[in-house]
Structure 1
Amino acid sequence: MSAADSTFKRFVEVGRVVLLKSGPSEGRIAIVAEIIDHNRAIIDGPTTGVPRQSFPFRHLTLTPFKLTKLPRAAGSGVVKKQVEAEAIVEKWEKSSWAQKRAAIAKRRSLTDFERFTVMLAKKARSDRVHKSVKAAGKA
């Protein structure tokens, strides 16, 4: 069975962009530089501040992005050049996944007063929508 026939679309492979789920670099992206065994890979994030290290797959999330021509066991310099050439960080930041994560992080960092002002803004918007729908129904 080939990869084209599989129901899975993302595979652990050299050059795959991954999102870290735990550790000091949690929430950042990195690149799989080499696969060690069934459980671990060497990851590197020279442009995202993730040091080159061995990392377990259970603490990684595979993203749809992948570096096209990254050789196996490539050093940090090669990885950095590939990432910058393919603009992986910019693609990630434009993705809906990254934007949702940023919105959630922003929401979590709000103070009590900021949450209150957001609630008032939502009420005002809802009121305007309700009034315009009612006016459109009469017309």
Structure 2
Amino acid sequence: KLVSVVDIIDQTRALVDGPGSGVARQQIRLNQLHLTKFRLKYPFTAPTRVVRKAWTEAKLNEKWAESQWAKNLENKEKRAQMTDYDRFKLTSARVKRNRARTATFKSLKVKAARSGVFGKK
């Protein structure tokens, strides 16, 4: 879940709030958090309504959805939902792709060897 750090409680805990992601204001251990590149500007220990306003003005949900991190998480969830048949289809598609790639590479390699660009001199 995406949250914003509102206050640091002590060396191991932080007060977080995630009005755009459905996380209520609560304390979380710092070792449970992963920092992102996104930063919101609001006053120190601001109430949830101020955090929500900064969140919507920064369009944080849209920026997060476009980030590579979010896309990787989405792909991970898709992979976890795959059935045996889906995995079989994926493997078959990879085999076809690799065969086509290898055939193209070998034909280019033969052309290069005949023209003297590749191989023994």
Q: TM-score, normalised by structure 1?
A: 0.74
For 1:128 and 1:44, the matched residues in 2 are separated by 50
Q: CA shift at 1:136, angstroms?
A: 2.3
**Identity rate of aligned residues, in percent?**
35
* Residue number in structure 1 paired with 2:115: none
- Pick one of 49, 54, 61 that aligns with 2:34: 61
Q: CA shift at 1:91, angstroms?
A: 1.6
Aligned CA RMSD, in angstroms, stands at 1.3
Please give the secondary structure, in 1, of the residue aligned with 2:3.
Answer: strand
For 1:50 and 1:38, the matched residues in 2 are separated by 22
Q: CA shift at 1:40, angstroms?
A: 1.0
Q: Which structure's residues are more often helix, by fraction?
A: 2
* Residue number in structure 1 paired with 2:65: 93
Q: CA shift at 1:45, angstroms?
A: 0.7
- 2:13 is the counterpart of 1:47: no
- Pick one of 78, 94, 97 that aligns with 2:50: 78
* Residue number in structure 1 paired with 2:106: 134
Q: CA shift at 1:79, angstroms?
A: 0.9
| Rg comparison, structure with higher value | 2
Q: Which amino acid aligns with 2:106?
A: K
Q: Which structure's residues are more often strand, by fraction?
A: 1
Q: How many residues align?
A: 111
For 1:136 and 1:49, the matched residues in 2 are separated by 54
